[in-house]
Amino acid sequence: MTATTDGSSGAAAPGATSATTAQLTDTSPGAAGTHDAATRAVQRATDFLLARQDAQGWWKGDLDTNVTMDAEDLLLRQFLGIRDEATTRAAGLFIRGEQRDDGAWATFHGGPGELSTTIEAYVALRLAGDAPDEPHMAKASAWIRERGGIAAARVFTRIWLALFGWWKWDDLPELPPELIYFPRWMPLNIYDFGCWARQTIVPLTVVSAKRPVRPAPFPLDELHTDARNPNPAKPLAPVASWDGAFERLDKAMHLYRKVAPRRLRRAAMNTAARWIIERQEKDGCWGGIQPPAVYSVIALHLLGYDLEHPVMKAGLESLDRFAVWREDGARMIEACQSPVWDTCLAVIALADAGLPADHPGLVKAAEWMLREQIDRPGDWSVRRPQLASGGWAFEFHNDNYPDIDDTAEVVLALRRVRHPDIARMEKAIERGVRWNLGMQSKNGAWAAFDVDNTSPFPNRLPFCDFGEVIDPPSADVTGHVVEMLAVEGLSHDPRTRRGIEWLLAEQEPNGAWFGRWGVNYIYGTGSVLPALTAAGLAPSHPAIRRAVAWLESVQNDDGGWGEDLRSYRYEDWKGHGASTASQTGWALMALLSAGERDSKAVERGVAWLAGTQLADGTWDEPYFTGTGFPWDFSINYHLYRHVFPLTALGRYVQGEPFSDRASLPGKGS
């Protein structure tokens, strides 16, 4: 390992290269054999992917995040009094296996230790029976103290500790449940927050109001720099600054708590409870993601819902479905599950690799996706009340929150399949396109879930010190929507042109685009270039030439591309990191769309993918290339390592998709 810019030991430093070494099928084939090697790799990858399709038609890879998911699952069970020995043992086994040599836990593979993650992991292992004087625990607690102890942890970590009296509720930001009554025009109303934050904040207002404390099973004095004074007072920021204003607002909320009318507070909590219950999905979860589900269960429990209540039973059962049991007996908790996203990407990969449009696997996947289309309004309709539904969500069940990115990619996937019911397919595609167009923000771009969710105030709250809490438009989502609209023949539609203009204005000086939902500039550029060329921009366009030049400049010596999560924080990591299969796929997809098929960069990238493919037809990829919150929350989608290399290799062998628009399945068929 080499030293990184932040002093940690992990991924290769900028400019360094690495290649997968386990069970490689080929060495670099050289210029003459690149096409043949790619063709063989495509066949192996196609066979691998088809063999992993569920009988119902979908694909789903595991979704790795970090051990806070596992720690908070144990803390929830401890709080509810349902923690059992088998679950605790399995969670402890997984958490121990993720500890770094220096005693800390990271939020992504090869990343630096992270304080809050390490604190939560440590507490979970204490619940699992690990003594504080065991070497791995003593090393962890020393690492925590060196970085400021619990007092320096993020708010969410300290909320978990407050539930057991390990932290004082008075020393946490106030979050009043009366927030539920704020009208939509008022700053800091719940719809000013991104959907993931909104679903978390509403139940946390109840928790904040109730301030529950369960008996702590052990003290945590070893995690304070000074156990006698664990949270020394800090001076307020200047009153004229935003931080100073919101810090004083929080102090005012603490005072309001003491005088809040009891009837109003009780009514606000009951309104919050109704809001929560109305948004529970049919599988029992909330939003298809773990954090809102955890806090919703706690909030409802505090309001008197016992564990046998149907809402609570369904919620707890849904959380169990996030568990992935491994062969060694360890239990990992997924933050989310991604079957719709994985399925549409798998269909695109297989179709672009040359699988016939009427192949049974593709038809079965299309049928499953058609059944997943959402036909009722959700929170998005607060800002678009007249817009008809028609989007797709990311997860198995998340009807309240379809997302724009999935909808665009599902349409692109469906357009590649020759489904026997053409009229049904066309109607579904039409509804999806109309919904996506209706979700365009006023600046011409698209966000992930909402329209114009760009208020500057939520990020200023002392409570919001972790991750993104708003959902502004991004280049990667906008690129996918523009590409979809171009394939649907809407390149010259004024709404599409506005999206293109926004993308061109968002290009970085170095030629790349920022990646909001994937790591990072390689993902953003890999999303935008295919969109711009599909919409009719010539490969000679200056923006495309700048992007091509940037991609060529960051190609690793081994021929692949890679970018570390640290590029979200450090300039010298932009476009740099160990080569990965998914990121190499993104770069190749961009270059191929820009007419660079015969370039040396493409040849070397294709050779790297063919040479690092494993014997079973997939690729090894321990690095995290998915993004939940830039820098703060990272994701390793296990199917990314497969679908994106296959898509890139398929396009290299078969040519760019939709080059012959007359042959589009469905259209004119």
Spatial separation of the C-alpha atoms in residues 299 and 567, rounded to whole Å:
37
**Separation between Cα atoms, residue 7 and residue 101, nearest integer Å:** 14
Taking the C-alpha atoms of residue 641 and residue 628, their distance in angstroms, rounded to an integer, is: 17
Contacts of 92 (CB under 8 A, 6+ apart): 124, 125, 127, 128, 129, 130
| Whether the Cβ atoms of residue 516 and residue 633 lie closer than 8 Å to each other | no
For residue 515, give Cα distances in angstroms to 294, 382, 469, 506, 518.
Answer: 29, 27, 17, 11, 5
* Helix (H), strand (E) at residue 10: strand 9-10
Cα(234)–Cα(243) distance, rounded to whole angstroms? 13
Task: Clarify whether 101 is annotated catalytic.
Answer: no
Q: Say which of 250, 352, 405, 632 is annotated catalytic.
A: 405
> From the CB of residue 664, how many other CB atoms can be counted at a distance below 10 Å?
18
Q: Which of these, 298, 282, 296, lies nearest to 199 by C-alpha position? A: 296
Rounded CA separation 176/260 (Å): 9
For residues 631 and 466, give the distance between their C-alpha atoms in angstroms, rounded to a whole number: 10
397 neighbors 383 (Cβ within 8 angstroms): no
**Token pair for 145:** 């103290």
**How many angstroms separate the CA atoms of 34 and 569, rounded?**
36
Q: Which of 335, 342, 333, 389 is nearest to 369 (CA)?
A: 342
Instruction: List the one residue out of 146, 154, 112 whose CA is nearest residue 6.
Output: 112
Cα angle: 397, vertex 403, 408; to 5 degrees: 115
From the list 483, 364, 416, the residue with the least C-alpha distance to 667 is 416
Give 638's DSSP letter.
T
Rounded distance, CA 226 to CA 363, Å?
63
Which run of H or E residues covers position 540? none
**Which residues are known catalytic residues?**
405
